[in-house]
Structure 1
């Protein structure tokens, strides 16, 4: 594909500002005369000021130029400059040729049909199109800076968030207070109240009389001691590398920094969005097609049920959405001696089998499918959508939208965060009282942290992305995960929390680990009430 030099400059300009552009907008730009860079710059400025989505549409172009509505034919949309450009930061951007070299990470150009498949009206956010990996140590520095900045923005919405001081400033104040009887710190206490500091959790240390925590920001490290039992319990429920805010005691007589209050980012109490009519969504995950333990008969019964007009017809007739939350296939080489547990010993056979099953889903039902750690493609988080070269036939199914992990979709106004759930392993392993039998409790920890994979350096692989896409910036109405193969449904501050189990019976590994799965169950949610139902096809 060749692209006009001026158009390429405009694309580079847009992505260097962290924006994307719809193919229809490129068609308009190509046919315009004059200084389009200046016009585009005005559009970006306006969208940033209004906090609008970071994608330039044809309507944005028309509005800037004062044009009347222009209708594009299907030919125009498919054959013109149908390129979706991944966003980037100003220090790292890709032109069209460089982007084509990054197909392994799915940082590629897409035609209009792909754009429609991914960015239809239901997709609020898809990490698939935001992936822009850094390199090495510098990449991880960018990742954690992005995490800190995004988290600080969430904290700034709190009344006390405006009063957060940098660690360097706090240390300087304390040092001055110890050497000055007319302490700056004491005067600040009178004038401003308590001191607040925020940082990423670097270490937790349980001592004889206190529970100490070390936090980090860009100005340094700070160790803070908690002596109160309630605060100690709160610290025990924190994950490493998550963002927190701490209110410090203004007591200059003590030699250390003492915690007065502790705040995680958390989600606010809220009334969730609801659909205006009785429409249902089905939440499932972890099919593991290709495994000897895949419940083929039960899944076929589920597909028959979706196509039936018999039992539960009142529900089936109102199902409009199906969310599949990763691990479509069992994959190859995921764990040692996996081949002994496989019926289909190559991924292409597994994908062919999966395609035949998914093609049986009624075409009026919209299917959203994200990858898991067993699926083809990159395993590090965030994960691009399953690459098209491995799943071309699934992409061709008109009712299936292939998305990245994580993503957020809109189903009749109900915002649903889909995340396969790899990080639940680390969360359950490090937080006292959590277990695989109640994964919703671990999911609540992620909501409190406002991060889908806060712990770095353990079992969950995290890519050195320029932007941390695992921060939960928007509070979901439904939080849907899988991975642990255990059904669990709960609610937290207005968010319906669903772990949708699996369609694979207990494996030897799960037996050795003492994990008892609850497979063959579909979670059906009434989007007008957010009331969930469990339909057990293992006992159907």
Structure 2
């Protein structure tokens, strides 16, 4: 270890005296302290070449000053916000609505509710007003329309695709012929546990599909009027060594009207809401050996730091939804973060704690927030999908009208009496996170946003060549996207 410490400073063209060496060696996280000291000296353009205990004290004092730095609001921004109205309503928040005991009856209620909700949406299609129950498909039927949940997906030895589907009356086997190229290709994005409609014919043992119908969404002809801006962030990961605090502080300064050029400051003055889509902190015990990557190793202190940082935004509503790193139950839907772990945040008057997922009305703009854990399952289940394909994944979820269609894989889903992950009402904006890769596109009139991250590339991401879009913030400004970059 001694040689390793000396080598790191030599590579940075720095020397150590004995007392500084002893103090660094005795630190429980000496590697992180070394990197912080080197960065501190480089940033302050210090001509010092020998690290002493006084260097360590100066670094620590600088950290204390940073922690107590107050970011003040631009007087013009304060005046604008003092005179603006910020009406909002939380339309769906599943906090305190968990009644499941986890037994088989709860699971049946959960899937029955999923089926009922999505069946209703599919039956908005005139072809499915009248359907054939699956128990009645065990006969020769020339033309039928049925609706079911996919239990299994397999391929035959001849290359055809076989679906096992189920409704409350029974099961059915659906054959998708490889010769029907368009249908076969489109069926490649089917996943277990989603609800579909099938048009075709039955020979008594198989339903031969002519068409597969998803609940889907209707294209909007006219966008809603919007004369303000909404900022979207997620995956801040406060407490991580890789949390980019400098970029985040530039963001806080910008939203307070004190950063950027005149155009960017005008945009800040137009902001009425900040929406945070999960993983505000890095958490503890989320994955093996996480403590080695934490700068703040206590969950309470992580949220205290988050409250300090967000406390500089005081006059616009902040809607805060959790993610899989936050201190709430892991199973989705996740209830809101509570005072038990985040007292200072919960007591901040302009912060509204909500569940994951949630739906809100922000001055007549309907926003659905979902952290995005199910993206992992979609990537594992479908060929040709990666974590970088957030726009494709969000489009898929909108077509399936479900935020987490695959049950029992990496995304833990609570078998509630009601399936809160169904997208019953189509939002104006779908906001996701989780994958740390920024994206925006519009699909049938819906803004689909993934808001990237404030966490620099981790060792895990390096292994899988995942390059996060750190410090890039999407803003929906008067119905159009503006992307701000807070990197140096």
Per the shorter chain, which TM-score range?
0.7 to 0.9
C-alpha separation between the residues in 1 aligned to 2:236 and 2:104? 36
3-state secondary structure, aligned to 2:475: strand
Which of 175, 178, 187 aligns to 1:225? It is 175
3-state secondary structure, aligned to 1:249: strand
Q: Within 5 A, what are the aligned runs for 1:55-70?
A: none
Deviation at 1:272, TM superposition (A): 5.9
C-alpha separation between the residues in 1 aligned to 2:326 and 2:191? 27
Deviation at 1:123, TM superposition (A): 1.2
Q: 1:461: which partner in 2?
A: 412
3-state secondary structure, aligned to 1:391: helix
Q: 2:237: which partner in 1?
A: 288
Q: 2:289: which partner in 1?
A: 337
Which of 157, 160, 166 aligns to 1:216? It is 166
How big is each residue's C-alpha offset from its partner over 1:3-53, in whole Å with a ceiling of 9 and x where there is no partner?
A: xxxxxxxxxxxxxxxxxxxxxxxxxxxxxxxxxxxxxxxxxxxxxxxxxxx
Q: 2:23: which partner in 1?
A: none
How big is each residue's C-alpha offset from its partner over 1:494-539, in whole Å with a ceiling of 9 and x where there is no partner?
A: 111000011001111111122111111111111x3x2111111113
Where structure 2 has 5 or more consecutive residues not aligned to the other structure, the ranges are: 1-86
Q: 1:90: which partner in 2?
A: none
Which of 93, 103, 106 aligns to 1:139? It is 106
Q: 1:346: which partner in 2?
A: 298
Q: 2:62: which partner in 1?
A: none
C-alpha separation between the residues in 2 aligned to 1:271 and 1:487? 26
Q: 2:453: which partner in 1?
A: 502
C-alpha separation between the residues in 2 aligned to 1:260 and 1:212? 13
1:244 aligns with 2:196: yes
Q: 1:263: which partner in 2?
A: 213
C-alpha separation between the residues in 2 aligned to 1:121 and 1:301? 27
**Contact preservation (8 Å) 2:107, 2:416:** yes
Q: Within 5 A, what are the aligned runs for 1:117-196?
A: 121-171=88-138, 174=139, 177=140, 185=141, 194-196=143-145
C-alpha separation between the residues in 2 aligned to 1:386 and 1:318? 28
**Contact preservation (8 Å) 1:272, 1:477:** no
Q: Within 5 A, what are the aligned runs for 1:326-475?
A: 326-361=278-313, 363-475=314-426
1:317 aligns with 2:269: yes
C-alpha separation between the residues in 2 aligned to 1:472 and 1:371? 19
**Contact preservation (8 Å) 2:237, 2:281:** yes
3-state secondary structure, aligned to 1:164: coil
Deviation at 1:456, TM superposition (A): 0.8
Which of 146, 151, 170 aligns to 1:202? It is 151
Deviation at 1:308, TM superposition (A): 2.1
Deviation at 1:431, TM superposition (A): 1.6
3-state secondary structure, aligned to 1:195: strand
Q: 1:56: which partner in 2?
A: none
C-alpha separation between the residues in 2 aligned to 1:385 and 1:422? 16
Q: TM-score, normalised to structure 1's length?
A: 0.71
**Contact preservation (8 Å) 1:132, 1:467:** no
Deviation at 1:125, TM superposition (A): 1.5
Deviation at 1:323, TM superposition (A): 0.5
**Contact preservation (8 Å) 2:223, 2:445:** no
C-alpha separation between the residues in 2 aligned to 1:274 and 1:357? 33
Where structure 1 has 5 or more consecutive residues not aligned to the other structure, the ranges are: 1-119, 178-184
How big is each residue's C-alpha offset from its partner over 1:366-404, in whole Å with a ceiling of 9 and x where there is no partner?
A: 110000000001010000001222112111111111000
1:307 aligns with 2:259: no
C-alpha separation between the residues in 2 aligned to 1:223 and 1:213? 6
C-alpha separation between the residues in 1 aligned to 2:333 and 2:487? 33
Query: After alignment, is 198-207 or 452-461 more displaced?
Result: 198-207
3-state secondary structure, aligned to 1:348: helix
3-state secondary structure, aligned to 1:320: strand
Deviation at 1:249, TM superposition (A): 2.5
CA-based RMSD: 1.5
**Contact preservation (8 Å) 1:355, 1:393:** yes
**Contact preservation (8 Å) 1:275, 1:412:** no
Which of 205, 224, 227 aligns to 1:274? It is 224
How big is each residue's C-alpha offset from its partner over 1:450-476, in whole Å with a ceiling of 9 and x where there is no partner?
A: 000110111000111111000000001
1:476 aligns with 2:427: yes
Deviation at 1:255, TM superposition (A): 5.8
